[in-house]
Chains A and B, each alone.
Chain A
Amino acid sequence: MQSQQIQQLFVRYKILALLIAVAIIWIFFHIKTDSAFITPGNLSNLFRQMSITGMLACGMVFVIIAGEIDLSVGSQLGLLGGVVALLTVNHGWGTWPAIGAVLVLGLLIGAFNGFVVTKMRVPSFIVGLGGMLAFRGVVLYITGSSTIAPAPDDLISLGQGFVPPSISRWIGALIFLGMAVLTARRRVRRAKLGLQQGALWIDIARVLAIGLLIFGFVRILNDANGIPIPVMILLGLLAVFTYVSTQTVFGRHIYAVGGNMEATRLSGVNVARVKLVVFALMGLMCAFAGIITVARTGSGSPSAGTGGELDAISACFIGGTSMRGGSGTVYGALIGALVMASLDSGMQLMDVDNSWQMIIKGVILALAVWVDVLSGSNRG
């Protein structure tokens, strides 16, 4: 019983450690930039910047948990963004039909990748490597290597707009209430079935801590016009992906496939289908990220998303996803994305040379995974 509590705390501690890391990074930059970092305006920008990597990370964390990798997501993002720009700018499609078409296209591209990996049995690393080149080539071909602009206003507002402060406040309150109700309902359910309960104070402390985070988050962003729409979309995706990974049969199967594919197959799980759907979801996330990229910049650039796969993969690993598959969390990956975005934003504010930015990000990635390895081996 006692060792269980310790273990539970350790699992919690991992998130805490990540959040503490974010706090340290923020305070460091705040001091170094003469208090220009932790301001509503800058944080609003920061969250908006991270939303694209965050969307890719949502899909990527499933791919990595399932024991695969997708190196083509940056090029997929570029292709799907290019298509939405082409459809709206050159072909006169309405924004919403274009978005719908691109979402479906993303799903199909992802499913195709998944098909090549599972049915044709080409290792995903190679499929990704090939896709990285091929998809980028397709963008260059269909855009004629030139930027497609200007995107229609309603598309741009998706990338640059805000959820008004009054609605933001309500959304925050609703999320908090939802968390509290879910926690209470679980306790009641468990009590009714006579199952073991976690300590009450842990649950209460958790709900309160989350409430505090939401409150602070909404408060700060409301000082800068409200929650940016891409951030709102990312929060929605976080909720959906967390739900899928923790509450659904499909989610459990992703972990099982990544943890031991052979045992999972022999348990009657269609492992090929699980992986195929995971790749399809990855493609869908590339579509989201591609659309938001075009909406933020107001144009479809043929080079959009270059290196995006590396940011997404780094975010997953910083966020504690196991390299061998089988374990990881969506919120961890998003905090990982926040770390990467914070480093980018802070170093830009400090006017650090681009070469140094790359060196520092690379070192931090290796360090973060090293720390994870250390804490992992301590448990054995």
Chain B
Amino acid sequence: MSEYLFEMRQIVKEFSGVRALNGIDLAVRPGECVGLCGENGAGKSTLMKVLSGVYPYGTWEGEILFDGKPLRAHSVRDSEDAGIVIIHQELMLVPQLSVAENIFLGNEIRKFGGVMDYDAMYAKAEALLARLKLKDVNVAARVSNYGGGYQQLFEIAKALAKNARLLILDEPSSSLTSSETDTLLSIIEDLKKDGVACVYISHKLEEVARVCDTVTVIRDGKHIVTKPMSEMTTHSIITAMVGREIENLFPKMEHDVGEVIFEARHVTCWDVSNPNRKRVDDISFEVRRGEIVGIAGLVGAGRTELVSAIFGAYPGRYEAEVVLEGKLMKIRSPEQAIKAGLSLVPEDRKRQGIVPMLGVGDNITLATLAQYAHAGQIDRQAELQTVDAEIKRLRVKTAGPELAIAGLSGGNQQKAVLIKMLLPQPKVLILDEPTRGVDVGSKYDIYKLMFELAAKGVAIIMVSSEMPEVLGVSDRVLVVGEGKLQGNFPNVGLTQEQVLAAAISHAAESPAHAA
């Protein structure tokens, strides 16, 4: 009998002749947490799809053993029946259904004739949530009443309801605040004690270091290393992921900070569904030429609302005065904002950044298409020339500019979205979570680009939930909490604790509620 609960051996998966996975091994013992690390595009998602039966048995080569027996899943259902449950990066809850209904979705407890046994489901849901140390949840209430942190835990409860023995968590903390992430990690530690095995996929290596016993690194579809965490450091993991030494995550470049070119005055946003509640409450700030200003705060503090109002994109009622180079601008739509000299790279790449079916090139020129046109007719060749040049400059990995952007990895999609919003040559660049779900190598490229732009005199506003990023990149840090400006610190000797203290001290409610 093998010591492993689960083993993948020499997995090979090809897409029309291209090897996405080239002989990957992965093994997990009962009660062990294995960290799976790799840059975007390294093959992690493909591997997870093989594992979970999204790619049915027979469409890949190699062998999967579960409990010492070969596992031949033909569908997700098969692998779930065996006890393998994936929790995806995007939450897969139905917001209109109740907490209990979501936990038992597809797995309902029934009375005779297909009638749902609500009493049993509520009781069991409460028991499951108690196991996750969630006590103040009304399981009959809609999921949409609870914040992102709670929802992530509901997903885990859902997995446990399926008797998961192997839990796969794909970037579970990407939309969580740091305290929520803390709760999540301690719950994983508890589950490990109960014998549940985990595969933890994350770019946040501090989390991997804390919760994982073993680390497996893959790169370009190949297995690079598997070692106990005790023998690895975050630095050695990064080196293995990237394949080269990255001395400094933040390639800081000297850049001069000039006069004030941008001012936002009295930005106030009202909640879309609750018009009495202010999401952003009278925030004013200014940014200088060539300055990088980081906006920190908890998830739900109002940072995204603040920048979308400045960009004319906030969906609800809002007020904002934007002054650019001393002139009061009239901005009520993204169209006017871009014309005025602002660009925004939105937070949610899939929903707001890319047009998935269009080609990489078509996406890149979407904001500036008129520049390549004479009397409405696009000069395709001129357009392609720009696209080719930009793809090379920012090292976007794609087989061709006409291929649909949906097929690119997250980091490369993000680069394409960045290029799209840089082509209008903005004076002020707003980046909302610019490196969310982006691999280390692409992160490095994006930071480098930011410093280059600042050196050219572009004013940059960066909203970020990653504290090291805020401190590593910004010249000045604004802290937003409860919709108000809670701090404005020059980034000289600034520490994470100071920023966090400013962000939290005013938050009366629990962070999960604010989300």
Cα separation A174 to B353 with both chains bound (whole Å):
43
Q: Which residue of B lies closest to A243 (CB)?
A: B377
Pairwise interchain contact A248-B313, C-beta atoms closer than 8 A: no
Cα separation A265 to B16 with both chains bound (whole Å):
34
Q: Which of B377, B378, B403, B420 has a CB less than 8 Å from the CB of A267?
A: B420
Cα separation A270 to B312 with both chains bound (whole Å):
12
B510 CB to nearest A CB, Å: 30
Cα separation A322 to B385 with both chains bound (whole Å):
29
Cα separation A7 to B16 with both chains bound (whole Å):
10
B339 interface contact, C-beta 8 A: yes
Pairwise interchain contact B335-A268, C-beta atoms closer than 8 A: yes
Assuming A2-B17, A249-B369, is B381 touching A193 (CB within 8 A)? yes
A193 CB to nearest B CB, Å: 5
B508 interface contact, C-beta 8 A: no
Pairwise interchain contact A195-B381, C-beta atoms closer than 8 A: yes
Residues of B within 8 A of A268 (CB): 334-335, 337-339, 367, 424
Cα separation A189 to B382 with both chains bound (whole Å):
10
Q: Which residues of chain A in 249-285 are interfacial with respect to chain B, using CB atoms and an 8 Å cutoff?
A: 249-250, 252-253, 255-256, 259-260, 262-270
A6 interface contact, C-beta 8 A: yes
Pairwise interchain contact A260-B388, C-beta atoms closer than 8 A: no
Residues of A within 8 A of B403 (CB): 4, 7
Cα separation A266 to B345 with both chains bound (whole Å):
9
Pairwise interchain contact B381-A264, C-beta atoms closer than 8 A: no
B351 interface contact, C-beta 8 A: yes
Pairwise interchain contact A247-B355, C-beta atoms closer than 8 A: no
Q: Using a Cβ–Cβ cut-off of 8 Å, how many residues does chain A contribute to the interface with B? A: 34
Pairwise interchain contact A6-B16, C-beta atoms closer than 8 A: yes
Pairwise interchain contact B355-A326, C-beta atoms closer than 8 A: yes
Cα separation A327 to B17 with both chains bound (whole Å):
26
Cα separation A326 to B420 with both chains bound (whole Å):
19
Pairwise interchain contact A249-B378, C-beta atoms closer than 8 A: yes
Q: Which of A2, A252, A256, A322 has a CB less than 8 Å from the CB of B378?
A: A252
Residues of B within 8 A of A12 (CB): none
B373 interface contact, C-beta 8 A: yes
A377 interface contact, C-beta 8 A: no
Pairwise interchain contact B384-A263, C-beta atoms closer than 8 A: no
A32 interface contact, C-beta 8 A: no
Q: Which residue of B lies closest to A4 (CB)?
A: B400
Cα separation A33 to B494 with both chains bound (whole Å):
87
Residues of B within 8 A of A249 (CB): 369-370, 373, 376, 378
Pairwise interchain contact B376-A248, C-beta atoms closer than 8 A: yes
Q: Which of B333, B377, B381 has a CB less than 8 Å from the CB of A190?
A: B381
Among A189, A247, A263, A269, find the residue whose CB has the most chain B CB atoms closer than 10 A: A263
Cα separation A196 to B401 with both chains bound (whole Å):
11
Cα separation A4 to B352 with both chains bound (whole Å):
28
Pairwise interchain contact B18-A263, C-beta atoms closer than 8 A: no
Pairwise interchain contact B16-A267, C-beta atoms closer than 8 A: no
B141 interface contact, C-beta 8 A: no
A355 interface contact, C-beta 8 A: no
Q: Which residues of chain A in 221-247 are interfacial with respect to chain B, using CB atoms and an 8 Å cutoff?
A: 247
Q: Which of B333, B337, B382, B400 has a CB less than 8 Å from the CB of A270?
A: B333
A3 interface contact, C-beta 8 A: yes
B346 interface contact, C-beta 8 A: yes
Pairwise interchain contact B376-A195, C-beta atoms closer than 8 A: no
Cα separation A221 to B384 with both chains bound (whole Å):
41
Pairwise interchain contact A270-B335, C-beta atoms closer than 8 A: yes
Assuming A4-B399, A249-B378, A268-B337, is B352 touching A327 (CB within 8 A)? no
Q: Jot down 26 A-B pairs with beta carbons below 8 A, ordered by A.
A: A1-B399, A3-B17, A4-B399, A193-B381, A193-B385, A247-B378, A247-B380, A248-B373, A248-B378, A249-B370, A249-B373, A249-B376, A252-B369, A252-B378, A255-B355, A259-B355, A260-B356, A262-B352, A263-B346, A263-B366, A266-B344, A267-B367, A268-B338, A268-B367, A269-B335, A269-B367
Q: Which 10 pairs between the two chains have the least Cβ-Cβ distance?
A: A268-B338, A259-B355, A267-B367, A260-B355, A267-B366, A326-B357, A268-B335, A259-B357, A249-B369, A248-B376
Q: A256-B358, A266-B313, A270-B335 are in contact. List 15 more A-B contacts (CB 8 A).
A: A3-B399, A4-B399, A4-B400, A195-B381, A247-B378, A255-B355, A260-B356, A263-B346, A263-B352, A263-B353, A267-B366, A267-B420, A268-B335, A269-B367, A326-B357
* A residues lining the B interface (CB < 8 Å): 1-4, 6-7, 186, 189-190, 193, 195-196, 247-250, 252-253, 255-256, 259-260, 262-270, 322, 326-327
